[in-house]
Amino acid sequence: MPQESVELAGRQVHRVGYGAMQLAPHGRPAPSPADAVALLRAVSDLGIDHIDTAAFYGNGSVNRAIAAAFPASAHSPLIATKVGAREVGGKLVTKQKPAELREDVLTNLRGLGRENVDLIYLRRADIAPGIIATGDQVVPIEDQLAELMALRDEGLIGAIGLSNVTVEQLQVALPVGIDAVQNFYNFLDRDTEPVLDLARQQGIAWIPYFPLGSGFPGRPRVTDVPSVIATAADLGATPSQVGLAWLLAHYDHTLLIPGSSDLEHIRQNLAAADLELNPDRITT
């Protein structure tokens, strides 16, 4: 297990964490509740101490598995979750109003079996990929941040993060105290590079989601890129490991949350933190 760590929400965590979305059905069978709990405990045994989730993953089933695997204690992994969307009738819809964000925080706490959660991401819905807010769901970010600050002051959340945001939105949010930004970003899609640049300037943790680029229909996969495949062959690694290692090398406060329901695949993801890329490959 790589020993390098980065501060997140007041704790030191390893740079490769675990994204729990794969424990929910998304057009594929999901692990049984018992298997999900067992996998989460095995993930922790590997040394992973940062788990990313959301109440809308599996309509709450993923949070319930985390609660069963890690009863609230000082020894549980850092738990990060998201608000701003919810599953309704099998579809993901925006829930951007401040009162809805508070409700979603409480829903996450109930599902996770906790009195507070380490890190909450505000999942904005202004830019692709994913759902876009319309009508009365178009809410100023200032109003949302005010509600999250109140929740932080009440001790219900430990730290505030942002997800799917523009550089302008991050600039507006900086006075609030932002611990992390979670945007779509990978070797093939760097549209949010300006957001990363600002995060780097401010020393804010950067958590790229769908780090291998295949999370949305029609998106190319990093693992299919010839240069990635060739680099993997040269290093005796997998293309996935090269794609993850590139992200880690791109900024020293990058944290990864790749997901899988296969323990061997999770081990391979962890090993990406030990993969050294030549400088010319990092700057490609």
pLDDT tens per residue, range 184-218: 999 999 999 999 999 999 999 999 999 998 767 77
Does residue 284 register a pLDDT over 70?
no
What is residue 27's predicted lDDT score, i.e. its pLDDT? 64
57 as an active site residue: the answer is yes
Sorting pLDDT into bands at 50, 70 and 90, what band is 2? very low
Distances (CA, A) of 271 to 1, 16, 30, 240: 7, 9, 25, 11
pLDDT digits (tens, 9 = 90+) for 86-114: 988 778 899 999 999 999 999 999 999 99
Domain-wise residue ranges, the chain: 5-219+250-260
Does residue 25 surpass a pLDDT of 90?
no
Round the average pLDDT of the chain to a whole number and report it: 93
Q: What is the tens place of the pLDDT at every residue in 104-144?
A: 999 999 999 999 999 999 999 999 888 999 999 999 999 99
Q: What is the pTM assigned to this prediction?
A: 0.94
Residue type, 252: D
Which pLDDT score is estimated for 283?
61
Give 257's contacts (C-beta < 8 A, 6+ positions apart): 17, 18, 19, 50, 52, 207, 209
5-219+250-260: CATH topology: TIM Barrel (3.20.20)
Instruction: Write down the catalytic residue from 57, 121, 185, 209.
Output: 57
